[in-house]
Amino acid sequence: MKKISTLAFVIFIVTFLFSAVIFTPQPVKLGVTQAPIYFKPRLTQTTSTGCSPTQIKTEYGSRFLTNDIAFFKFSVWTAMIAPSSRPLTTKDKTETKMIKFPEEGIPVLMYHSISTIPGNTLGVPVKEFTEEMEWLHRQNYHSLSLEEFYQALANKTPVPDKPILLTFDDGYSDNYTKAWPILRQNGFKATFFVTTNSIGSGMMNWDQLGDLAREGNTIGSHTVHHLDLATLSYKQQENELNISKQELVNRLDISVQALCFPSGRYNKTTLELMSKLGYKLGFTTVPGKVHLGDDLLTLKRVRISGGMPLASFQKQFP
């Protein structure tokens, strides 16, 4: 008799839990169809879904989640749909092969605006940029942070297999509104060189730059006014390099280690001032890949122009 009672109790529990899953409320009632992608918990006590019962009741209304069973049903629903909603990412770090600095060099890609600019190849149309990033992702290229790139060059620190460095000059607003979503979708990070005097005036603003930095990207200096450094006096160059660096540090609470020369122009005075002011890396517009042993203050890059066929883009990589 006791065995029958125990069996009946087990059947009751299983049936109860099964019905809790089957009769899950429709996500539209909860108003959280986008929750698995964009939901960011603000409480420390979390469940496997990334949010706490208290938080969900507060944000989505207690009339739908009034007890533990309702929360259990919401958790099951979230767990089932979240994997299919995640963006593309690079392979897990534990699966990434680490290698020494490649003998063929590391490509440092140079972009400017991600937009269509008639008659101007500085603008790479969104469609072209999307195709380029998706191809790199499919080929298992790994984007480096500027710090990873520096450590590999200065200290021979191993890098992920098939490394690249993505850079953007000038600070166009479309770098944030167009390029960044595509980069993030493909699991890439980048370095953005900004001219501080232009921040906010049709270019990226401070909030956008701060968001990029928090998301693991790097912000570097492109001077204050985007002038030809080779034509400026010692003091003028010092102001361009120092003021831009300090403003980025103070406004964004970041470390600024790299300078990108406006239009690729610099001279001996520029290099002396870079060392004096704490710059570790300098980027030119001279075409080519970066190799171990190259001068850290005059690094080459690969210009990516608007209108470049995908086949030509692919030839830039080993």
> What pLDDT, on the 0 to 100 scale, is given for residue 15?
57
99 and 75 within one domain: no
Pick from 208, 274, 264: which is nearest to 241 by CA?
A: 274
> Where does a domain end: 85, 104, 119?
85
> What pLDDT, on the 0 to 100 scale, is given for residue 46?
35
306 and 188 within one domain: yes
Residues 6 or more apart in contact with residue 206 via CB below 8 angstroms: 199, 200, 251, 252
97 and 81 within one domain: no
49 and 124 within one domain: no
99 and 71 within one domain: no
Q: Beta strands of 32-100 (E only): which ranges?
A: 98-99
Angle at 309 between CA 306 and CA 313, to 5 degrees: 85
If one counts the domains in the chain, the total is: 2
> What pLDDT, on the 0 to 100 scale, is given for residue 180?
98
138 and 244 within one domain: yes
> What pLDDT, on the 0 to 100 scale, is given for residue 287?
98
21 and 136 within one domain: no
Burial 237-246 (b: 16+ CB within 10 A, else e): bbbbbbbbbe
> What pLDDT, on the 0 to 100 scale, is given for residue 13?
61
> What pLDDT, on the 0 to 100 scale, is given for residue 83?
38
> Where does a domain end: 85, 118, 134?
85
Domain that includes residue 62, residue range: 2-85
> What pLDDT, on the 0 to 100 scale, is given for residue 12?
60
Whether pTM > 0.75 for this model: the answer is: no
> What pLDDT, on the 0 to 100 scale, is given for residue 5?
54
> What pLDDT, on the 0 to 100 scale, is given for residue 95?
75
193 and 60 within one domain: no
CATH of the domain at 144: 3.20.20.370
Positions in the chain short of pLDDT 70: 1-94
Residue range 176-201, pLDDT digits in tens? 999 999 999 999 999 999 999 999 98
61 and 112 within one domain: no
229 and 106 within one domain: yes
> Where does a domain end: 51, 85, 119?
85
